[in-house]
Structure 1
Amino acid sequence: MKFAIVSVGNELLRGDIVNDNAKYIAQKLAALGHSVERIVVVPDRVDDIVEELRRLLKYDFIFVTGGLGATHDDVTAEAIAKALNRSLVLDEKAVKQVKRWTDKKEVVEKVAKIPAESEVIQNDVGVAPAFITGKIAALPGVPAEMRDTFEKIVKRFEKLEVYEEDVIVEGKEEDFLEKLNSVVRKFPDVEIGSYPKPGYVVLKFRGKKERVLEAKREFLS
């Protein structure tokens, strides 16, 4: 499957915090053999989030992190509803989730209002539940809460056959560029990444095991 990740938050765009949530999700999906095609960071503005979500709907599934809290700049639920042309509703299951932590009316009415016909995913670490609307999953931005809810969702995705091997080559990329390009052309079904380091290059081969081994042998021959 092909995935996209949307990280919502002005604090990310200012560089105040590192986007560890996107890294965590991408690594988990890659370990299952899936492909993350886009990682996008957007500000806490409804129209910006809507624009990106509609652009990314061509992918199989989208994970969105952040913007599910009770403050004025938590607008992710509203944006997802608008992107999918759904109304916002006060969801009974979401209300129960929020009330496990607080009975404050303004918090309950903000956090438990999610797009219609969404599936609520319980958050066992914090106030805001996650939810799935169509092919979009919205997760809390607090890392511990994101991981808790993400792990409940990611179990639904099948683990695909994927195999990786690294080759360490001394020197610079230009020393073996012709050979590498030849292998890339011959094995289009193998993902080959080239990562220069001081004095050497790491080549990563990823795909079905037999094809990865063939591509590696071809490069080393």
Structure 2
Amino acid sequence: MEVALITVGDELLSGDTVNTNANWLAAELSDRGVAVKRILSIPDERAEIAARVREYADDFDAVIVTGGIGSTPDDVTVEAVADAFDREMVVTDLTRESVERRLAAIRERVPDREFDVDVAAEAAVPAGSRPLVTEAGLAPGCVVENVYVMPGIPDELKATFETVGDEFAGDRRSRFLYTVEPESNIIAALAEAAERFDVAVGCYPDREAAHNRLKVTATDDDALDAAAAWLLENANASETPVSRDW
């Protein structure tokens, strides 16, 4: 399974907000054996979001879009996804009830605060979509064909992803090895392992830990194990973290 991630928000592009959502989703998907093929951050621009969603929906098995759902002027993601699939925006019984229930809970928790909420705007989703409602946030996410729209607030994103996490599965597996050898000393070994066993091999220096971390990835468990065993011998690698003593 190949997935693209689109994170929406002017604040991501300006550096005002760290894009932790992309990192968290990529790790979650990788743990499920899914190949994350794209991570794209784009501004809160309806036409741009729609164009990228349409493009990636055609190119990948699934697309996850985060951020820009709600009713403030810069929340245009859900409408943009509707545009991408030529859908109208509608309010369903499920989404209206969810927003009203969450709003009632908020008002009960903060009784001395007035909340002027446009329930219809918060509850609107593309026609024919599958709403994704949780108790974590006000506005619902949704699924339109192979596009999953989720909140940008991290705890709301995580709660929403958990409702559909079982829909993401793949056959990619990885193993990590560690070596104190300088990268220049293991270039040939890494290249040979990749070619000999038809695996992907990455080398990631960790200066604080004083070692290089090797990641071996494959869709065949036997090839993965064989490549790892070969690198243990030929890249002076270890299955447990090691540190340089020089």
TM-score by length of 1: 0.91
Where 1:21 maps in the other structure, the secondary structure is helix
Residue 80 of structure 1 aligns with which residue?
81
Identity rate, percent = 31
Q: C-alpha distance in 1, partners of 2:93/2:55?
A: 31
> Aligned match of 1:109 in 120, 130, 150?
120
Q: C-alpha distance in 2, partners of 1:211/1:81?
A: 43
Q: C-alpha distance in 2, partners of 1:4/1:29?
A: 10
Residue 25 of structure 2 aligns with which residue?
25
Would you say the 8 A contact 1:13–1:42 is kept in 2?
A: yes
Question: Could you tell which deviates more after superposition, 68-77 or 90-99?
Answer: 90-99
Q: Deviations over 1:9-50 (max 9, x none)?
A: 111111111111111111111111111111111111101111
Alignment of 1:1-221 (within 5 A): 1-57=1-57, 58-102=59-103, 107-158=118-169, 160-188=170-198, 190-198=199-207, 200-207=211-218, 208-219=220-231, 220-221=233-234
Structure 2 alignment gaps of length 5 or more? 105-114, 235-246
Where 1:128 maps in the other structure, the secondary structure is coil
Alpha-carbon distance change, 169 to 70 in structure 1, aligned in 2, over 3 angstroms: same
Alpha-carbon distance change, 92 to 210 in structure 1, aligned in 2, over 3 angstroms: same
* Cα-Cα RMSD: 1.9
Greater gyration radius? 2
Q: Which amino acid aligns with 2:155?
A: A
Structure 1 alignment gaps of length 5 or more? none
Would you say the 8 A contact 1:164–1:209 is kept in 2?
A: no
Q: C-alpha distance in 2, partners of 1:181/1:126?
A: 47
Q: Which amino acid aligns with 1:98?
A: V
TM-aligned CA deviation for residue 164 of structure 1: 2.9
Residue 240 of structure 2 aligns with which residue?
none
TM-aligned CA deviation for residue 178 of structure 1: 1.6
Q: Which amino acid aligns with 1:141?
A: G
